[in-house]
Structure 1
Amino acid sequence: MRNLKEKLKVYYIMSVFSVLFALLGFSYNAWRMEVSEENNNVRTAAFEVLSHLGELEHIILSAHYDNDVIEGNPRKGWVKVGLVVDLSALIAPNVEAKAVMMKATWADSWHLMRTEEAVVTELVNEIDDTRMAIKLVLKEMS
């Protein structure tokens, strides 16, 4: 009888340990999947924003240096700026802040980008600052 009680005790302890281990493993797996999904969303948004920043820079340079009213159309620029601000909120707060600052600069000076070199330089610097903030977020994720 004593031998049976000892075997049952070991069985119960192992059962409880197995259930706890399974719960711990499931919890870790769920957490890991959530973190991976979040990182994937941030990366996707970051690459999309980098692409739109490149297109915005192309619009600015086409307007200023080429006097191209098609490629340098400020309405295209407004669309790109809006997309950058919207998507930057998915990346990180500091990236969103840089994008909002870039939008403010764009709003104040888009109409001067064809004629003023200083405006072009300022807009490109804002784009570069936003790019740098994105790159730092991506580097921290690695």
Structure 2
Amino acid sequence: MKPGTKIIDQVRRNFVAIVSLVVAVTSLGYNTWRNESSEFNRNQRLISIEVLRNLGELQQVVYHRHWGMDAEDAGNPLTGWAIVLTIDDLASILQVPVPESASALRDAWQQHSDMLGEKDKAEKTIIEAIDTVRSDVHALLSDLD
């Protein structure tokens, strides 16, 4: 700095550069935040849709097992277990309350799946748990930006 040059004079001479720097840093910060927010919402939507698809498949297994008395093919309890565990794994990535309702579905399946076809209470309990997860996923989707 030259002798006699004041800081205020430096700011006046470089005012446009300083404003440009502030705008650039602010824009970069906002853009980064927006990209992260969009990525989060995109991931939540994708996983939610996959959970809904798996819920539909599980509901078919329950109906085939309970009403169709088909434990071999479409109502195979092992297929149901695979779907329930997939739902539980996917739901763990989603926002609350979906992980809790998916765990409740897993518990309902564990306690009642072997009684499907014998007791209507088993079918009702599992379908209610499926409906709870489904409504929680729908609520999560409607709350996303």
Counterpart of 2:64 in structure 1 is 62
Deviation of 1:86 (Å): 0.5
Taking the aligned partners of 2:47 and 2:34, their CA distance within structure 1 comes to 20
Q: Answer yes or no: is the 8 Å Cα contact 1:46–1:91 preserved in 2.
A: yes
Shift in Å at residue 93 of structure 1? 2.2
CA offset at residue 115 of structure 1? Answer: 1.2
Structure 1 residue matching 2:118: 3-state secondary structure: coil
Residue by residue over 1:74-118, the C-alpha shift from the partner in whole angstroms, topping out at 9 and shown as x without a partner, is: 000000000100001121121000000110111111100121111
Cα distance in 2, alignment partners of residues 9 and 42 from structure 1:
47
1:99 and 2:102 matched: yes
The answer on 1:44 being equivalent to 2:46 is yes
1:10 Cα deviation after fit: 3.3
| AA matched with 2:29 | S
Match of 2:18 in 1: 16
Aligned equivalents of 2:78 and 2:13: distance in 1? 72
> Counterpart of 1:43 in 2: which secondary structure?
helix
Unmatched 5+ stretches in structure 1: none
Q: Which of 59, 70, 92 pairs up with 1:89?
A: 92
Q: Identity over the aligned pairs, expressed in percent?
A: 27
Measure, in 1, the Cα distance between the counterparts of 2:13 and 2:39: 39
| Contact 1:41/1:90, CA 8 A, preserved across alignment | no
Out of 108, 123, 126, the position equivalent to 2:126 is: 123
**Across the two proteins, how many residue pairs are aligned to each other?**
138
TM-score, normalisation: structure 1? 0.92
Give the root-mean-square deviation of aligned CA atoms: 1.6
- Normalized against structure 2, the TM-score is what? 0.90
Indicate the residue corresponding to 1:33 in structure 2: 35
Select the residue among 105, 108, 112 that pairs with 2:111: 108
CA distance in 2, matches of 1:119, 1:11: 79
For 1:80, which of 79, 83, 87 is the aligned residue? 83
